[in-house]
Structure 1
Amino acid sequence: MKDATENTGNSVQRPANAHLMAMGHEDLRPLTDAFTEARTALRRLSESDDARYSKRAGILMRQLDMFEPNVTLVGQVKAGKTALTNVLVGSPGLLPSDVNPWTTVVTGLHLNSRTAPRGTKSEFSFFDHDEWNRLVQTGGRLGELAERAGTGDEVERIQAQIVKMRDQSKARLGASFELLLGKSHKYGYYDNALIERYVCMGETDENGMPLDNKQGRFADITKSAEIFIDMPEYPGSICLRDTPGVNDTFMVREQITIRSLRGSEICLVVLSAHQALNTTDMALVRLISNFEKRQIILYVNRIDELPNPSMQIPEIRESIMETLRSKNAPYDAEIVFGSAKWAETALTGSLNELSEESQAALFDWAEANNHIAPEDPNAFLWMLSGVPDLQRAINKRILEGSGKRLLENIRSRVANLTAEVAAERNARQAFAVTGEVKMSPAEMRAEVEKLAQGSMSELDGATERLRVDLRQRLDKLQGSFLRRATDALIAHLERNGEQDSWNYDATGLRVLLRSAYFQFAAQTKKEVAGVYDKSTNAILDLYTRALGEELPGLKITPPPMAQVPPPVVVGKTIALDLASSWWKKWWGKRRGIEAIAADYAGLIEAEVAAIIDELEKTQIADMFGSISSTMVEFLNEQREALMRLTEDGPAASEMHNFQVSSHATEEALGDVLTALDRVAA
């Protein structure tokens, strides 16, 4: 069965006050303007008669087009995360906010994407057979934990619930159920009704069948939704990922949220002013604890429901900071207070529809912020909602993070290309005078291959050493924690007997694992940069030998270091975090201190080993893969440039045309550098 595609007109209406969405993006415009100027200059270079320069310009243009910072929203159930997402993309009511607990969908909203599939405005992907079978057979992560703990009756209960969900899905989808797994549906439009069909279960009858045959039809098997939105008020491209909660029955959502956070630039945590952070949010705290403070923004929503926000907000702020501090999370991360409801009201121009309670909170908060009051009441309400401040916080991190990295990457590659153009012109001018080249193509090819092989070998050796060192450090930490936890358990049993309750906080273990990972990340940056620099110096030496002299001003910039992702997997739920009935049953089925301690040690060892394995096989493997591919790309570009220096140059009669073309190329490259340098300054 092929992926389904349907094209119709877009039925989503723009809000009455869409112009308000431009507020908060002032700082980002210089970067996006510079990228636009650079793209224009690169397009001019891509039309060059020289295929090499044209190809390189095309690659850099695609890098600019693909720039789409990722912001992942996580948060409490009923905190208004989806309502906030709708406001941020200027489409109140677009995503359903009352999502059934079965739903495990991550929804990506792509603003102004330059790489969206042609003719596609929405795409919904389904679990493949392996993912679905794993869920059905094991009951997700919770089933795996119960199985590992040896609580067979709990495993059976979980699997019974999964089987019920599977049977309802098959009954709902009929013969197409198996055919849909691993496929996707694409549409040329999006609206609330279409999205609900894939991400929201809707109301069901006593047999679990939907009362509306369309609403929630595919929700059980939908893995992700991608919506492509044009929003002229936003100066660039961005992707907001609305994740499901992390407290679902089978921890499928936690797994999916972890995958989303792994590649995210920013973690936007949405909290409710009523709840702040409490003991039910520890899974959320464990996840965000693995980010650096600059990567986290906390948006405290629903201040419109506070009776006295001006007095209560400072107390809520302090409570949040204290909770994060006590759990070794970044307590000094930026916190923005606001109301998605007020933002929606401002966008739609429906101020008179606010409840009396919401209006009272609004007047209180407005009085405390009267220094920012504009004449337009909708604009004032938009500012009081906190959304412009939130957008500024997001944009600041883009400028300091992925925007800066792309800026430096494009600039270094353009600077290298400029150096190559100058070196080639110098070589051609020398050939026009002497009629010979300093190195033959065969000699240069041999030298370049030797350099490339040596560089890759050194890089592979460095990354393997780093991987082994980290694994040994993590294994040592695991062993140390295991001994402490087991010793504490034995002491507890000897002191209180086998009938007393017991728990052991894994926060200390996570702190040590995070610390080891960040030390590894710092060492990786240092060693990889050293290999990159050494290879670059060797390349410069080859330039000098090929030209017969050192070219004044010739400089080759090493490739940029890959971004080191946060160790989000360290925050996933393990057996020690649970206080459910099966954990108590596990305790009750064992008799004797030695038996309890031995089984407890085995359980902890298996759980921690699973975290370490996933950290190594996913994030670290991906990062090293990116480092290696960056080096390969850099060496290939330099190989091509160096080989050109050994070619016979143009005839004397053709030198004028060659020089004109060369100067035109340098002029286009100079325009790119000027645009980028303007932002960097």
Structure 2
Amino acid sequence: MARNDHLLSVGNEALAPMTATMASLTAQIDQLTEVADARSSARLATLKTRMENFIASVTMVGQVKAGKSSIVNILAGHPGLLPSDVNPWTSVVTTLNINTRPPGDTKAKFTFFEQEEWDNLMVGGGRLGELANRAGADDEMEDIRRQIAEMKAKSEERLGKHFDLILGQSHQYDHFDEELIQRYVCLGDEDDPDIDPKTGRFADVTKSAELYMDIPQYPIALKLCDTPGVNDTFMVREQITLRSLRGSEVCVVVLAASQALTTMDMALMRIIAQFENRQIILFVNRIDELSDPVNQVPEIRDRIQDTLKQNNIDTNTSVVFGSALWAEAALTGNPDILTEESRQALNTFYLAAGFGDQAASLDKIWALSGLPDLLLAMNERIAEGAGARLMDRVRHRARNIASQIRATAVAKNLSEGEGVARDLDGVSPEEAIKTVSAEYEKKAAELTNALRDKVLERLKSAEDNFVKRATDSLIAHLEKNGEQGTWQYDPAGLRTLQKAAYFSFARAMRKDAGALYATAAADVEALYHKILGNHLGEFSIEAPIVPRVPPPLGIGRTIALDLQSTWWRRWWQRRKGFEAYAADYTRLIASEANSITKDIEENQIAAVLENVRAILTDFLREQKETLLSISSSADKNPGQTAAAMAGLQPQKSKDEILGDILKDLSNEAA
């Protein structure tokens, strides 16, 4: 267990401005609530709940045995919690929900594959089977089916009568420990005599594991996701890793120092290349295994930078070097766990860091482990990313709610005196409000359809362009070399074109949706003025914030063209003549290119466009409710309104309080 869990607090300084802003916003929302009506109070309570429920998502990716689970265990303050020597068959995403409210008394939840998902793997061979089938690799498909049959037979033998009953189900516990977790996420040694046949081993059919824990050293809630390595036989891990990365704020790529170059394989590079630079942190683990860490670390850093550059990844990406073993020694207060080689490497680093030749302190070992730098980098990205976006949205909504409260108060005062003046060109407030809402819902539908059509047209153009260039290159190769040898066309160009199309869509969406939101806000603000005349004073309704466009992770998924195997030699051998080569290859690469486009459309573009519509719909609904309430206040009995307000007036007028709060909210935004 962690005896020195206070070390986990290192790096919290990066979150201090964010947590201070949260506290300030909470206080201002409380002030607003004191002068708000019931409807606005409920909206303000929702804003507070949104801040209270803020969870930062961090996902760890890498290859098998790079040390991801060891790092996650350290970050969880619980060395040894997750198995760090996972059998290659295991494809389980394990999520640590830190400082979050668990459902009921649940502390651990293990979810199994649905029957359809299991059948897809068993019958079709998963993604690898899909690719092999598309490429016409019949021999490989037969090999895949044989391996899957062996896997299924072992699973049924291990689970017995439980096998058919657990698919699509989940197991929940009010506790967890290492032994329980290993039953679900690690197969272990099949010859282990300690395996309990009554409980079985569920890792073959476990889809995900969720654990709930509290770590008071972290000032925020954290969702820490440990993904399987991406280099598995059936590419199940790559699919699961991509699914986990969607929505993640920070991607920590864990590499082993002794294999830092080889572990940066193409599958991994394709995935992380889709992220924004500030979302990626490379953690080079196991520097304690290097023979000369002081000199080797700079060399490894330079080579990693070269690798990033070659793969069009920003070389300013953070690279942190460290050792999970050193971190565990510091956290547990037990340096005896270090091997002699690890101890020597630590001493070398200790002297190079200028700490002198005195006995190594646990705090300094922790500093050299790289974990403080990793925590600081994670927290910086959380604060400037998801944290900043949340604060902007809450502050923006609070200002609009304050404006709505002011308009409601003005309407009530007018209803008690001269009455509400309406200048709506002869139509009722209800009709005017309904007309504006319907108009912008229609415009939103037209805009999202136009954005979708345009990006799909550009993606299709990227496909066609790539297919033509690849086919032309193939024909040129055949004309020069005949039917001898093999040939393959790098799909990197396709991904470049698809990424350009996606980011063009993102720019167009931000511009066009922003313009639509702005005109909608202006028209809604005009309705307030038409209903309440010139009694509002300084008053504004702000446009909704345009949604963020997530990175196009689907572009990084493996396609058949990426695979270097015997497939291609056999593929060429089965074809005779230039026309057969060109026609068949064109069909293959067209289907492969289209598979990426389909993934981007279904999992990224559709979600973004639905968000564009939903944000505008929510904005219009909220404003419509307030405007209808203001309109109906003119029909209320003035005496009743005055009685309802009696004794509730604060020392400062409501308008003065609202003015002060709006001023504070605007100053913070600046």
Q: TM-score, normalised by structure 1?
A: 0.92
Q: Quick check: 1:96 aligned with 2:80? A: no
Q: Relative to structure 1, is the Cα distance of residues 674 and 26 closer, same or farther in structure 2, using a 3 angstrom cutoff? A: farther
Task: Give 1:290's aligned amino acid.
Answer: Q
Q: Relative to structure 1, is the Cα distance of residues 581 and 38 closer, same or farther in structure 2, using a 3 angstrom cutoff? A: same
1:501, CA displacement in angstroms? Answer: 2.5
Q: Unpaired segments of 5 or more residues in structure 1?
A: 1-12
Contact 2:40–2:405, Cα closer than 8 Å, also in 1: no
For 1:280 and 1:216, locate their aligned partners in 2 and report how far apart those are by CA, in whole Å: 35
1:39, CA displacement in angstroms? Answer: 4.3
Map Cα deviations across residues 71-120 of structure 1 (whole Å, 9 max, x no partner): 11111222111101111111111110111111111111111114x21211
For 1:323 and 1:358, locate their aligned partners in 2 and report how far apart those are by CA, in whole Å: 27
Aligned to 2:60: 73
Alignment of 1:352-501 (within 5 A): 352-370=336-354, 377-436=361-420, 438=422, 443-501=428-486
Task: Give 1:536's aligned amino acid.
Answer: A
Aligned to 2:204: 220
Contact 1:324–1:331, Cα closer than 8 Å, also in 2: yes
1:58, CA displacement in angstroms? Answer: 2.7
**Secondary structure of 1:225's partner?**
strand
Task: Give 2:50's aligned amino acid.
Answer: Q
1:584, CA displacement in angstroms? Answer: 2.4
Aligned to 2:5: 18
Aligned to 1:304: 288
Contact 1:41–1:672, Cα closer than 8 Å, also in 2: no
Contact 1:343–1:382, Cα closer than 8 Å, also in 2: yes
Aligned to 2:609: 624
For 1:620 and 1:402, locate their aligned partners in 2 and report how far apart those are by CA, in whole Å: 20
Aligned to 1:120: 106
Q: Unpaired segments of 5 or more residues in structure 2?
A: none
Q: Quick check: 1:235 aligned with 2:222? A: no
Contact 1:265–1:401, Cα closer than 8 Å, also in 2: yes
For 2:15 and 2:595, locate their aligned partners in 1 and report how far apart those are by CA, in whole Å: 41
CA RMSD of aligned residues (A): 2.7
Contact 1:201–1:210, Cα closer than 8 Å, also in 2: no
For 1:391 and 1:332, locate their aligned partners in 2 and report how far apart those are by CA, in whole Å: 18
Contact 1:374–1:380, Cα closer than 8 Å, also in 2: no
Identify which range, 55-64 or 513-522, moves more after superposition: 55-64
2:537 to 548, 552, 567: 552
Aligned to 1:609: 594
Aligned to 1:164: 150
Q: Relative to structure 1, is the Cα distance of residues 140 and 676 closer, same or farther in structure 2, using a 3 angstrom cutoff? A: farther
Contact 2:486–2:568, Cα closer than 8 Å, also in 1: no
Contact 1:293–1:330, Cα closer than 8 Å, also in 2: yes
Q: Quick check: 1:202 aligned with 2:193? A: no
**Secondary structure of 2:351's partner?**
helix
Question: How many correspondences in the alignment?
Answer: 664
Q: Relative to structure 1, is the Cα distance of residues 429 and 350 closer, same or farther in structure 2, using a 3 angstrom cutoff? A: same
1:368, CA displacement in angstroms? Answer: 2.8
1:373, CA displacement in angstroms? Answer: 11
Aligned to 2:578: 593
Task: Give 1:618's aligned amino acid.
Answer: N
**Secondary structure of 2:104's partner?**
coil
Q: Quick check: 1:643 aligned with 2:628? A: yes
Contact 1:106–1:242, Cα closer than 8 Å, also in 2: yes
**Secondary structure of 2:417's partner?**
helix
1:537 to 509, 514, 522: 522
Aligned to 1:8: none
Map Cα deviations across residues 595-652 of structure 1 (whole Å, 9 max, x no partner): 1121111110001101101100111111111221111111111111111211236524
Contact 1:204–1:210, Cα closer than 8 Å, also in 2: no
Q: Relative to structure 1, is the Cα distance of residues 244 and 258 closer, same or farther in structure 2, using a 3 angstrom cutoff? A: same
1:278, CA displacement in angstroms? Answer: 2.8
**Secondary structure of 1:240's partner?**
strand
Q: Relative to structure 1, is the Cα distance of residues 455 and 550 closer, same or farther in structure 2, using a 3 angstrom cutoff? A: farther
Q: TM-score, normalised by structure 2?
A: 0.93
For 2:667 and 2:82, locate their aligned partners in 1 and report how far apart those are by CA, in whole Å: 40
Aligned to 2:258: 274
1:123, CA displacement in angstroms? Answer: 1.1
For 1:72 and 1:619, locate their aligned partners in 2 and report how far apart those are by CA, in whole Å: 18
Contact 1:127–1:221, Cα closer than 8 Å, also in 2: yes
Q: Quick check: 1:84 aligned with 2:79? A: no
Q: Relative to structure 1, is the Cα distance of residues 447 and 661 closer, same or farther in structure 2, using a 3 angstrom cutoff? A: farther
Task: Give 2:271's aligned amino acid.
Answer: L
For 2:369 and 2:655, locate their aligned partners in 1 and report how far apart those are by CA, in whole Å: 49
Contact 1:24–1:388, Cα closer than 8 Å, also in 2: yes
For 1:119 and 1:669, locate their aligned partners in 2 and report how far apart those are by CA, in whole Å: 45
Task: Give 1:574's aligned amino acid.
Answer: I
1:54, CA displacement in angstroms? Answer: 2.9
For 2:535 and 2:658, locate their aligned partners in 1 and report how far apart those are by CA, in whole Å: 25
1:153, CA displacement in angstroms? Answer: 2.4
Q: Relative to structure 1, is the Cα distance of residues 390 and 309 closer, same or farther in structure 2, using a 3 angstrom cutoff? A: same
Task: Give 1:355's aligned amino acid.
Answer: T
Contact 1:569–1:615, Cα closer than 8 Å, also in 2: yes
1:457, CA displacement in angstroms? Answer: 1.3
1:330, CA displacement in angstroms? Answer: 2.6
Contact 1:373–1:380, Cα closer than 8 Å, also in 2: no
Q: Relative to structure 1, is the Cα distance of residues 413 and 672 closer, same or farther in structure 2, using a 3 angstrom cutoff? A: same
Identity across matched positions, percent: 45
